[in-house]
């Protein structure tokens, strides 16, 4: 899935382009020697990740970039919001016009859905599928030995900015308004955007699911060992099996799932997170129980189906509590 990039200004443009040409997902490179009438302190790379634009709005983007750099020249990553508008569209009747309108609506809906997914994956980063990214050239060169594609570069610098405080991000408040007929939003590029967000999050959701499955195995295995082999009464064996799975999940989530979000590793901080994790598990179990009773007793849905839905929603609640309460972002 290709990137279109624009390299702007600076004396190191040639070295930046040489690196860009080696990346398999960069297929379009343009060069601008300067931004408007102002001189710029650094080289910049303007990335158009999920949109293909017509040349006439590029001037509008560059003008806004000039304004942004004047306010945020000490930042390493700039995010420029792009907001499609229906102003100026050809709304003549006809099947083709209707088809194009529906296609545009579907693509924007998918882009907004992807942006909502990204806010779950990386709530610390306000970057939507329709935003443009500007990265300082020296940051790109500094990281050039740590990535093999431009998408992995973006995920890397977002991680370094969010969890290690190595780079600073600035998002412009004023969005760039463009007509819908001036942009194209390829679905494959939206998929690329979601993949970047997954990479930025260190694939926390997938890791959380894997850890949860391992907890099920620990629970079942411990219950069998305690109750069958050691003849521990079921009322106690069940509690010990549940607590064993909670401990298993907490340890793996700490050292694997949420590893990027942990700054302090003292015993006191770990104990506090452990107690918070019990709260998160309790919230997930409560959601599961309430959904089970609500769907089966109030709506008459089969209890097995109700329980499966409850387990799924409980897992979502558990993840959100773990991500935003137990392992809150702690910059290093």
pLDDT at 144: 83
- Do 37 and 67 meet the contact criterion of CB atoms below 8 Å apart? no
- Do 169 and 161 meet the contact criterion of CB atoms below 8 Å apart? yes
Strands 77-85 and 131-136: antiparallel
The Cα-based distances of 286 to 32, 62, 193 in angstroms read 57, 51, 34
User: pLDDT digits over 57-100, tens only?
Assistant: 677 777 777 777 777 778 899 998 888 776 555 555 566 667 77
Burial class (CB in 10 A: 0-12, 13-18, 19+), 219: buried
pLDDT at 288: 92
Residue 140, token pair as written in the block: 């790109």
Mean pLDDT over 197-202 rounds to 94
Q: Is the pLDDT of residue 168 over 50?
A: yes
pLDDT at 332: 46
Arithmetic mean of pLDDT over the chain: 85
User: pLDDT digits over 255-287, tens only?
Assistant: 999 999 887 678 889 999 999 999 999 999 999
- List phi, psi (to 5°) of 128: -95, 170
pLDDT at 81: 86
User: pLDDT digits over 188-197, tens only?
Assistant: 888 888 999 9
Residue 312's pLDDT band, with cuts at 50, 70 and 90, is very high
Residue 150, token pair as written in the block: 């431009």
Least confident of 43-57, 67-81, 158-172: 43-57
User: pLDDT digits over 285-294, tens only?
Assistant: 999 999 999 9
pLDDT at 87: 58
Q: Percentage of the chain with pLDDT > 70? A: 88
Least confident of 107-121, 135-149, 173-187, 211-225: 173-187
- List phi, psi (to 5°) of 136: -65, 140
- How far apart CA 216 and CA 95 sit, in angstroms, is 54
Q: Is the pLDDT of residue 172 over 90?
A: no
Residue 178, token pair as written in the block: 């463009």
User: pLDDT digits over 216-268, tens only?
Assistant: 999 999 999 999 999 999 989 999 999 999 999 999 999 999 999 887 678 88
- Do 149 and 3 meet the contact criterion of CB atoms below 8 Å apart? no
Mean pLDDT over 199-216 rounds to 95
- How far apart CA 319 and CA 50 sit, in angstroms, is 28
pLDDT at 38: 56
């Amino acid at each position: 899935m290709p990137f279109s990039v624009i390299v702007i200004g600076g004396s190191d443009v040639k070295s930046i382009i040489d690196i860009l040409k080696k990346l398999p997902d960069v297929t379009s490179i343009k060069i601008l020697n300067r931004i408007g009438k102002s001189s710029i302190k650094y080289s910049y790379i303007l990335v158009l990740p999920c949109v293909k634009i017509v040349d006439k709005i590029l001037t509008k983007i560059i003008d806004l970039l000039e304004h942004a750099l004047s306010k945020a020249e000490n930042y390493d990553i700039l995010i420029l919001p792009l907001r499609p508008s229906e102003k100026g569209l050809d709304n003549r009747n006809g099947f083709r016009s209707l088809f194009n309108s529906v296609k545009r609506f579907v693509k924007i809906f998918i882009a907004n859905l992807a942006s909502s997914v990204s806010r779950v994956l990386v709530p610390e980063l306000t970057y939507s599928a329709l935003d443009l990214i500007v990265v300082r050239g020296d940051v790109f060169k500094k990281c050039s030995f740590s990535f093999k594609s431009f998408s992995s570069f973006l995920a890397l610098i977002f991680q370094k900015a969010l969890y290690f405080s190595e780079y600073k991000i600035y998002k412009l408040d004023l969005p760039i308004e463009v007509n819908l007929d001036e942009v194209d939003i390829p679905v494959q590029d939206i998929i690329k955007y979601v993949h970047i967000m997954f990479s930025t999050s260190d694939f926390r959701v997938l890791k959380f699911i894997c850890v949860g499955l391992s907890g099920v195995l620990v629970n079942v295995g411990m219950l069998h060992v305690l109750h069958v082999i050691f003849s521990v009464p079921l009322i106690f064996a069940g509690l010990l099996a549940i607590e064993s799975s909670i401990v298993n999940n907490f340890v793996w989530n700490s050292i694997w799932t949420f590893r990027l979000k942990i700054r302090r590793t003292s015993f006191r901080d770990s104990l506090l997170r452990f107690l918070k994790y019990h709260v998160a598990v309790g919230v997930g179990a409560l959601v599961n129980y309430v959904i089970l009773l609500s769907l089966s007793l109030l709506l008459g849905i089969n209890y097995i189906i109700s329980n499966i839905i409850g387990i799924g929603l409980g897992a979502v609640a558990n993840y959100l509590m773990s991500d935003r309460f137990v392992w809150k972002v702690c910059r290093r």
